[in-house]
């Protein structure tokens, strides 16, 4: 990992909704190959931050740099094309479509052949392209162990399985960076353990850089390389999971404990008021 050449750099991002300051001068960077978690109490600005990175929200101030390119003004679709994928806090699947079709939808950005070249199936390379797509989709189905439900209609599946299919669709694009918004929310213990393993393998074996928002501290501690903590829209800590969890400002944000200035890993510039 190289600190001087991060995959993603968030520079002093501020986001307001009317009078609400959802993010105040938040800055951080994520290196290629990292599994980076964003934590914080409810309403701290975590999803807003992810939405600024994915392009759903436009920050009032600041810049987002991805692969060395300023993407602050790019539309979400263009960020996908550059290699960014995401899942949502609330499920965003096509519930009437099959699992297989949902995953295929995730690959539409990569399709070179379109409605003009498509009819020239044998000549345009569309056949070869389709085979490649099918192979890639099969890899994902195997990896996430959803072969048995490939033909099931997404809306009929359990919540945990739908979350897994949503992850499948997001990784179908083979993004370099994947943004996961509460991937374990609403899951039982076994489903959480499975999901944590998939995310870890995506990072370690597939080489995907991951930014994850997660409330389950056990999972965050287990699989994150680094953690950033937001509170009231401000970054209050960033560092190794164990450092961050021991940070007095973090304990205060979560548990209301008093702060001893000497032992904080915060640089002192971004504490919440």
Ligand X SMILES: Nc1ncnc2c1ncn2[C@@H]1O[C@H](COP(=O)(O)OP(=O)(O)OP(=O)(O)O)[C@@H](O)[C@H]1O
Among 40, 85, 175, 241, binds ligand X (CB under 6 A): 40
* Nearby residues of 246 by Cβ (< 8 Å), 6 or more positions away: 263, 265
Among 45, 175, 241, 248, binds ligand X (CB under 6 A): 45
Alpha-carbon gap, residue 9 to 242, rounded angstroms: 23
Alpha-carbon gap, residue 25 to 246, rounded angstroms: 24
By C-beta, is 51 or 266 nearer to ligand X?
51
First to last CA, the chain: 33
| Contacts of ligand X in 48-107 (CB under 6 A) | 48
Instruction: Kindly state the smallest distance separating residue 86's Cβ from ligand X, in Å.
Output: 14
Stretch that binds ligand X, among 17-25, 99-107, 114-122, 218-226 (CB under 6 A): 17-25
Among 20, 120, 131, 189, binds ligand X (CB under 6 A): 20
Among 22, 173, 223, 229, binds ligand X (CB under 6 A): 22
Stretch that binds ligand X, among 38-46, 107-115, 166-174, 201-209 (CB under 6 A): 38-46
Among 28, 36, 46, 247, binds ligand X (CB under 6 A): 46
Instruction: Kindly state the smallest distance separating residue 220's Cβ from ligand X, in Å.
Output: 13
| Contacts of ligand X in 139-198 (CB under 6 A) | none
For residue 77 the two structure tokens come to 């679709």
The three-class DSSP label of residue 70 is strand
The three-class DSSP label of residue 26 is strand
Among 43, 62, 160, 239, binds ligand X (CB under 6 A): 43
The three-class DSSP label of residue 162 is helix
- 42 interacts with ligand X by CB under 6 A: yes
Are residues 93 and 162 in contact, defined by beta-carbon separation less than 8 angstroms?
yes
Among 17, 94, 121, 159, binds ligand X (CB under 6 A): 17
Torsion region of 30: left, alpha or beta (phi above 0 gives left; psi -120 to 50 gives alpha): beta
State the sign of the Cα–Cα–Cα–Cα dihedral 181, 92, 167, 8. Answer: negative
Alpha-carbon gap, residue 80 to 110, rounded angstroms: 10
Alpha-carbon gap, residue 250 to 231, rounded angstroms: 9
By C-beta, is 2 or 42 nearer to ligand X?
42
- 232 interacts with ligand X by CB under 6 A: no
- 2 interacts with ligand X by CB under 6 A: no
Chain residues binding ligand X by CB under 6 A are 17, 20, 22, 40, 42-48
């Amino acid at each position: 990992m190289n600190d001087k050449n991060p995959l993603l750099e968030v520079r002093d991002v501020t986001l307001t909704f009317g009078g609400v300051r959802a993010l105040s001068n938040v800055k951080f960077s994520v290196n290629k190959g990292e599994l980076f978690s964003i934590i914080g109490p409810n309403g701290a600005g975590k999803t807003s931050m992810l939405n600024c990175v994915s392009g759903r929200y436009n920050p009032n101030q600041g810049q987002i740099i991805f692969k060395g390119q300023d993407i602050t003004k790019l539309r979400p679709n263009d960020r996908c094309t550059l290699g960014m994928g995401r899942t949502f806090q609330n499920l965003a699947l096509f519930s009437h479509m099959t699992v297989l079709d949902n995953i295929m939808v995730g690959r539409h950005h990569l399709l070179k052949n379109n409605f003009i070249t498509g009819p020239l199936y044998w000549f345009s390379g569309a056949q070869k392209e389709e085979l490649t797509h099918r192979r890639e989709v099969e890899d994902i189905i195997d990896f996430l162990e959803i072969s048995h439900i490939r033909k099931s209609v997404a809306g009929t599946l359990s919540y945990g399985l739908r979350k897994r299919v949503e992850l499948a669709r997001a990784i179908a694009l083979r993004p370099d960076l994947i943004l996961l918004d509460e991937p374990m929310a609403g899951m039982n213990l076994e489903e959480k353990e499975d999901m944590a393993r998939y995310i870890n393998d995506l990072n370690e074996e597939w080489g995907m850089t991951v930014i994850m928002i997660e409330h389950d501290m056990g999972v965050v501690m287990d699989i994150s390389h680094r953690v950033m903590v937001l509170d009231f829209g401000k970054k209050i800590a960033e560092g190794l999971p164990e450092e961050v969890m021991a940070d007095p400002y973090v304990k205060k944000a979560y548990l209301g404990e008093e702060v001893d200035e000497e032992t904080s890993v915060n640089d002192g510039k971004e504490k919440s008021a």
